Homo-oligomer: A and B are copies of this chain.
């Protein structure tokens, strides 16, 4: 059972999709990552910050799943990070309506003593300076540093981001971000360039079109499970990353074959995430449902073809 340290936001989200609208609900990268990872046997902890407006029941929800929250700072009189967005009919497109950093603006992450030696460090999407501060508190270096980031940091904090990228082992970004980061349209070429920036493994997420894993000349592809309905994509990428990191922390084996399986587990969890608003579906998904859908992934992709020499 490996130690997994998760850094990321705990947040309020308000979401509009073509199917409905929420008030402020539980959100944040660390929330989705933690919930996804909690489906694996790991010793997981979150480093984050919230205001004292953050409901204790939200924290209990994570604690009840065995996640250590001693690294979560609660700022008295502070307000929790808030994001609000509206999805188009094409759920791959969304507009951000509100971003209030609040306590996140002055976040000074403190890794709990017990988790400085975590096996896997999962850096959720956040200011690269914060990600860097966490990397620097790790002792010894984690076996695997997984980085999630986004286009905003490429546009505003390039140098710091490049420093973080040079120190991670796996980067997960979406296809547009991979193109932006590398200046290459072809995802194969993009992955090669990005890998040269540091990470041995490059994971490119394509939403409903699946995810690609690159290591040198090796490529693995996992589709997203075709669903009758995608209800709310919020948190799907974080959930994917959480399943990925959680599975690897449980397995302890970091071979390409295990990373392939981690991609499938991440895709599996993400397929549940999108079925309801926010974390709703992730909170109630059962081991039986996960196993059943893993079997569906296998059905969906496995074939037995004879290759004549």
Binding site for B on A (CB under 8 A): 89, 185-189, 206, 209-210, 212, 218-223, 226-230, 257, 260-261, 264-265, 287-288, 291, 294-295, 297-305, 307-309
Contacts and interface: CB of A to CB of B under 8 A. Distances in A.
A302 B222 CA distance: 9
Given A188-B227, A219-B226, A303 B261 contact: yes
A302 B298 CA distance: 9
Nearest to A220: B300
Contact of A294 (B187, B188, B301, B307): B307
A113 to B, nearest CB: 33
Given A261-B303, A300-B219, A305-B294, A226 B188 contact: yes
A264 B305 CA distance: 9
A-B interface, 7 closest residue pairs, ranked by CB to CB distance from nearest: A209-B209, A221-B223, A260-B303, A188-B228, A294-B307, A261-B305, A188-B226
Contacts of A261: 303-305
Contacts of A305: 261, 264-265, 294, 297-298
26 contacts: A89-B185, A186-B228, A186-B230, A187-B226, A188-B226, A189-B228, A189-B229, A206-B209, A209-B209, A210-B223, A212-B226, A219-B226, A221-B223, A221-B301, A222-B303, A257-B304, A260-B303, A261-B303, A261-B305, A264-B305, A294-B305, A295-B307, A298-B307, A301-B303, A302-B302, A302-B303
